[in-house]
Structure 1
Amino acid sequence: MTKLSVNINKIATLRNSRGGNVPNVLQAAKDIENFGAEGITVHPRPDERHIRYQDVRELAPAVTTEFNIEGNPIPQFIDLVLQNKPTQVTLVPDAEDAITSNAGWDTVKHKDFLIEVIQEFKQNGIRTSIFVDPNPKQIEAAQYTGTDRVELYTEAYAEKYAQGNKNGILPYMECAKVAQDIGIGLNAGHDLSLENIRFFKENIPGLDEVSIGHALIAESLYQGLETVIKKYLQLLK
């Protein structure tokens, strides 16, 4: 079964829009776990416009499932991860002013940098994953960085699926095969939703984990958080 990790950035965004502590990010994470999610994902950015560094410090000892911290490995992010030792760190090459992640790593160009960062995390017992575009060459090159997993950037798939074009899955199927052949674990995330997750799961062998935030929280506005999480779990079986 593919694990569901819920990205709670949007809950933090709502809290920050008003100040105070409503909704409570820590309590939301606990509730999401109680509803059946197998992981909690956060993506702190330097401007702390949603998840704050202090949120990470409070979540780390409280999360009882898998804790996944995403982000660009700038020095302060690396320090945060090493101090809090999550289950997994997902390296994302996003610019500080990016609204959301919009590209994967060039694992050929940035090989040496990734090797150095990944080695430090793995020495501290933290599983590593690299956010990559659905390009088999990037998956092949990722194996030389020492990473445990790659996370496929799924925006292109989601866009084509919404247009009725199911051929958008093909590059991801090819990448999944490459990952299996070279023995790298496979995650996926970005714009996955209740509408498109089943088709993706059915066609991607060896899918270890999906990280879903924006769509899941938006769907929960109408259906409720517990209901939506249980729907994802059913579709991922």
Structure 2
Amino acid sequence: ACAPEILRIALEVKPDQATLVPEKREELTTEGGLDVAGQKERVREVVSKLREAGIAVSLFIDPQPHQIEAAAELGVEAVELHTGGYANAKGPAAEQESAVLRSASALVHERGLVLHAGHGLNYRNVQPVAAIPHMHELNIGHSIVARAVLVGMTQAVREMKQLMVSAATAPTAATA
């Protein structure tokens, strides 16, 4: 999340938004959220540099209250809740993980942060997450690209968008 080379590139390129994620050598995928609470000063320094450059900052964190509170204290614009626990859960555990996400999402909104989510979401599990009130952005890559191999990128994106929009506008979405 705080590698000097990545920070240098971000400050040079100046994207509209940068999402800080945990970084491990030779990491292929993110297995958990950034420990903002445990690395608050280190993360604060990077957040400050990015924001001074006019770059909005999001933090990829686990859906835990202490991580959300730490993110809010740093003054970031958004958080992306790690949905891996939900995506990997089956049966009753999936409903429990969904409840964790809904509760965390409510806290994100209460703290005035923009709500994003992602990791492990696919065509079969995206709708309950898309239906969470105040969900602004879902980050989904692997599932869409894998589907695109079969149906093309345009159709794969169209199908995912349809699932997300229908979930977000369903009558039960407001009560989730």
Structure 2 counterpart of 1:98, from 27, 32, 52: 27
1:174 aligns with 2:103: yes
Check the 8 A contact 2:130/2:138 in 1, yes or no: no
Match of 1:89, as an amino acid?
Answer: A
Match of 1:229 in 2: 157
C-alpha contact 1:136 1:178 (8 A) present in aligned 2: yes
Map of 2:3 onto structure 1: 74
- Residue-pair matches, total: 165
| More relative contact order, 1 or 2 (CA 8 Å, 6+ apart) | 1
The separation in 2 between residues aligned to 1:216 and 1:232, in whole angstroms, is 7
SS in 2 for 1:165: helix
Other structure's SS at 1:90 match: strand
User: How many Å separate the matches in 2 of 1:91 and 1:164?
Assistant: 28
Greater fraction helix:
2
**Deviation >6 Å, runs of 4+:** none
Q: What corresponds to 2:170 in structure 1?
A: none
RMSD of equivalent CA atoms: 1.6
| 8 Å contact kept, 1:94–1:102 | no
How far does residue 235 in structure 1 lie from its aligned partner after superposition?
A: 1.9
Q: Which residue of 2 aligns with 1:186?
A: 115
Please, what TM-score do these two structures have when normalized by structure 1? 0.66
Return the letter of the residue paired with 1:228: A
Question: CA, structure 1 residues 81+162, in 2 after alignment: closer, same or farther (shift >3 Å)?
Answer: farther
Q: Which runs of 5+ in 2 are unaligned?
A: 166-176
Match of residue 144 from structure 2: 216
Which residue of 46, 51, 57 maps to 1:122? Answer: 51
Residue 195 of structure 1 is matched in structure 2 by 124
CA-CA distance at 1:229 after TM superposition: 0.3
In structure 2, what is the Cα distance between the partners aligned to 1:107 and 1:176? 17
Are the structure 2 counterparts of residues 87 and 165 from structure 1 closer, same or farther at C-alpha, using a change threshold of 3 Å?
Answer: same
Mapping for residues 3-22 of structure 1, pairs under 5 Å: none
Aligned-pair distance for 1:158? Answer: 0.7
Query: Percent identity, aligned pairs only?
Result: 31
